[in-house]
Structure 1
Amino acid sequence: ADGDLHIAPAALPGITRIYLGHEIVGDVVEVGSEVKGYKVGDRVASQSLAGSCLGQGREPLCRYCAVGNYSLCEGARQQEPLSVGGGYAEEWVTHEGRLFPVPDDLSDEQAVLLEPAACGLRAALRRRAQVGDRVMVIGCGTIGLMTLQSIRAVQPECEITALAQFDYQADMARKLGASNIIMLGSDAYSEVARLTGGRLYRGRLGNRTVMGGFDIVYDCVGKPQTLRDALRWARASGAVVLVGVHMAPMDIDLTPLWYWEVDLLGLFAH
């Protein structure tokens, strides 16, 4: 797994225990005497991150938790999570502030995808596609497909191109609204130029870039290579939304940020 103790989040206070399983749906079987929002029998889903004011029972709420932006809580990691167990356990004890009620018209199989769906929706809202925009989604795993579906829901009148590794991912991407598919292993730079009407330039030592590429590129892989490509596939004054996570420093060419004024946006939503 990726990881490096020199990244910024590693400077925050840690936790002494981690339980496996963070996409949780279940029934309330017992409540404490001070619980106000839930009763036995309620069906609930979890906020995956315990590090929020609500999840810690902390008041007053910080400015981010006060508006429902729990992932950016300024008090995260200040104390141990008030939870025991995780999604792989038969039972889970947690603070009521970490729970959300599940509507009756959602099945358990649908509700358990609320966390990755939140990532996809957050990505689509970080830079909204406009009518007629050409956008690209790099990666068609769960997060990439959720992002693609969210983009299509937020802006039905944009053109979405998806970069997929496997045929079954490409099939699912088409079902969820992708207009074009680029398969991993193809000449993606040439395909980007063809689909956007951009111009492919080839420099020395195999250096390539596209001028006039996509309005927005959503990188749902987040590796150094995909981010490098994303920045070169976005048009001038376009945007790259970094959805995928790479928990280590990157050695990457950032010149498109100033040379073509490409916006680079991150997100953190669970």
Structure 2
Amino acid sequence: EVGDRVVGANTTPCFECYHCKKNEYSLCENLNYLNGAYSEYVAVPGHMLKYNFYKIPESLPYEQAALLEPLVCAVHGADRIPVKTGDDVVVIGAGPIGLMFMDSLALKGARVIAVDLSDYRLSLSRQFGAAVTVNAGDKEHVQRVKEKCNGGRGADVVVEATGFPEVWENAINMVRPGGTVLTFGGTKKGTSIAIDCQKFHYEEINLKAVYHHTPYHVQWALNLLTNGSIDGAKYISGVYPLENAIDALESIARQEGIKYAVLPE
């Protein structure tokens, strides 16, 4: 109704296509996107409003509710990988999505190892559940990561959250025999990687991709923000007025902070 505080996802599946009928909602053949922001008004399609929009609980500030869409992608990814309490899980990339993965995986009881090129971001990662950090600038960092997991055997699960093909390859080399690699970071069209076929086959490595989100995970992520299991305030590094939105985006491009709230007033 008029005056309701609302938050929603940027897509909604059709629930009628081949993939939707198999509950593969992130692969919906008719997935419609509602992209764009910084407008005074936005018209939300009725189908999207019905299935993927929610009233914001009174306890949750707008700024934290706005984290919903990126968070739900990480929650979806974390839900689709076999992580048990005590597992050694590596997250490569300590940007906003990587930190959200760390947060989500720590909630599942994993021992999280953060890998990134930035010492600043690695230091931040400890606030989001990382127990161990490794700088990827070290030429031997892949071996260093393996040594810190399962007595040198490698990680139970590796999450790639950068979108660089060479990092996909590093992830495969960090995982233990029988482990799982989640290639979450999207690469450029036409990109390919090289895999050691013998290693892949004889070590029974599981290579998995997870895209986007589902309505179920949207509701789940909103609950995590609302009940405080995920502390949205930790992700907000500062506030910019709307007229300085470009400055906020450039700060992110320079890897200054995590997220910035852009306020119209």
- TM-score under structure 2 normalisation? 0.70
Residue deviations 1:152-205, cap 9 Å, x none? 11x22x211000222331122101110100112123123113212555xxxxxx
List runs of 5+ in structure 1 lacking aligned partners.
1-38, 54-59, 200-211
- Aligned-partner Cα distance in 1 for 2:36–2:163: 26
Q: Which residue is equivalent to 1:174?
A: 126
Higher helix share: 2
- Aligned-partner Cα distance in 1 for 2:123–2:78: 21
List runs of 5+ in structure 2 lacking aligned partners.
214-265
- 5 Å matches for 1:1-270? 39-49=1-11, 52-53=13-14, 61-62=16-17, 65=20, 70-76=25-31, 86-99=36-49, 100-101=53-54, 102-153=56-107, 155-156=108-109, 158-186=110-138, 187-196=140-149, 212-254=153-195, 255=197, 256-270=199-213
- Percent of counterpart pairs with the same letter? 32
Following TM superposition, the consecutive aligned residue runs of length 4 or more in structure 1 with deviations greater than 6 angstroms are none
- Aligned-partner Cα distance in 1 for 2:23–2:201: 33
- TM-score under structure 1 normalisation? 0.69
Do the aligned residues in 1 keep the contact of 2:143 with 2:174 (CA within 8 Å)?
no
- Aligned-partner Cα distance in 2 for 1:72–1:251: 21
RMSD: 2.3
Pair 96,44 (structure 1): closer, same or farther in 2 beyond 3 Å: farther
Between structure 1 and structure 2, the one with the greater Rg is 1
The count of residues paired between Structure 1 and Structure 2 equals 206
- Aligned-partner Cα distance in 2 for 1:197–1:70: 35
Task: Measure how far apart 1:46 and its partner are.
Answer: 2.6
Do the aligned residues in 2 keep the contact of 1:240 with 1:264 (CA within 8 Å)?
yes
Task: Measure how far apart 1:225 and its partner are.
Answer: 0.5
Task: Measure how far apart 1:70 and its partner are.
Answer: 4.0
